[in-house]
């Protein structure tokens, strides 16, 4: 069996679409009263339990963690969160064992063959093959999540994101003192919050991409520096000049700072992380997972 690993510029990466409509942030705005009654997520109660949806969007299966240990009290998980903060109530169905047809690819096409804990959606549906963070009863409520809108370009046949606006790019260039060569606006909220990916100009073999949370003059970065490699700078087969596709799972405020859930897709697989606001930046936490799917 091939060991599931993700590579970034030749180094093993240990921790680390959905609709093509035009942007309409205001249509998804929460009323101010809902924002005011948002509760804080208790960060210490969150666990590294991620899963993905089947082809029908009605079921979800969990991904194994690094230790291979089973879930304690799996029936206590009551919600799955992804796709810009969609909160889907779930109900535990069963623990599924792998069968002889399991090809070790963690995709909807291998859903019925792999090992994991299976849940069904009680309200709404999942997006097929998309990843979600599972939470136990009371850990994350609907009012803990910021209302976000995907910013996929409705005119893009491949589902690309809209670029960041010129003013925001200028703001980022001034902070980083480095020219932006590519940008993707991943999500935006009615509260004037933006989550974006920026790729900066190459300096020799020095490459830099950054995820940024932006609200007015407040900017929090998660930097991904790398050494240029034509085969793969950040991830295997990334083309050398762009890290691949990021998607926002959720944005929430916790008792320990802002939380940003992300998926990072590449040809070989997907990394899943929850970043936390710490010391004026977005930093990795112990909440992470991954999927292996190459070749699909």
User: φ, ψ for residue 183 (rounded to 5)?
Assistant: -145, 150
The DSSP symbol for 44 reads G
pLDDT value of residue 296: 60
Contact 128, 83 (CB under 8 A): no
Q: Residue 14 has what pLDDT?
A: 35
pLDDT score of 143: 87
C-alpha span between 200 and 174 (Å, rounded): 12
Cβ-proximal residues to 87 (8 Å cutoff; 6+ apart), any chain = 79, 81, 140, 141, 142, 145
Nearby residues of 182 by Cβ (< 8 Å), 6 or more positions away: 163, 198, 199, 242
* Residue-level pLDDT, tens digit, the chain, 296 residues: 444 444 444 333 333 334 444 444 433 333 333 334 547 899 999 999 999 999 999 999 999 887 667 899 999 999 999 999 999 999 999 999 999 999 999 999 999 999 999 999 998 899 999 999 999 988 998 888 999 988 998 888 888 999 999 999 999 999 999 999 999 999 999 889 999 999 999 999 999 999 999 999 999 999 999 999 988 999 988 888 899 999 999 999 999 999 999 999 988 999 999 999 999 999 999 999 999 998 86
């Amino acid at each position: 069996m091939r060991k599931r690993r993700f590579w970034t510029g030749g180094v093993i990466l240990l921790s680390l679409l959905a609709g093509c409509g035009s942007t309409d942030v205001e249509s998804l705005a929460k009323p101010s009263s809902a924002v005011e009654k948002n509760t804080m997520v208790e960060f210490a109660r969150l666990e590294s339990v991620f899963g993905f949806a089947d082809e029908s969007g009605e079921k979800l299966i969990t991904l194994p963690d690094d230790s291979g240990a089973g879930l304690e009290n799996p029936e206590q998980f009551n919600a799955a969160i992804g796709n810009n903060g969609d909160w889907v109530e779930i109900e535990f169905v069963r623990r599924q064992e792998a069968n002889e047809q399991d090809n070790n690819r963690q995709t909807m096409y291998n859903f019925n063959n792999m090992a994991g804990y299976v849940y069904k959606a009680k309200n709404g549906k999942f997006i097929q093959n998309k990843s979600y963070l599972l939470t136990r009863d009371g850990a994350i409520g609907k009012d803990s999540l910021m209302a976000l809108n995907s910013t996929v370009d409705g005119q893009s046949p491949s589902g690309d994101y809209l670029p960041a606006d010129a003013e925001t790019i200028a703001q980022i260039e001034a902070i980083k003192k480095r020219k932006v060569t590519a940008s993707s606006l991943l999500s935006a909220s009615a509260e004037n919050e933006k989550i974006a990916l920026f790729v900066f100009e190459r300096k020799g073999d020095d490459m830099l991409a950054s995820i940024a949370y932006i609200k007015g003059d407040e900017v929090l970065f998660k930097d991904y520096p790398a050494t240029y490699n034509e085969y793969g700078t950040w991830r295997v087969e990334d083309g050398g000049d762009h890290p691949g596709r990021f998607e926002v799972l959720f944005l929430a405020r916790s008792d320990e700072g802002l939380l940003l859930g992300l998926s990072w897709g590449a040809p070989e697989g997907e990394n899943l992380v929850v970043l936390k606001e710490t010391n004026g930046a977005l930093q990795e936490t112990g909440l992470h997972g991954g999927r292996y799917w190459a070749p699909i």
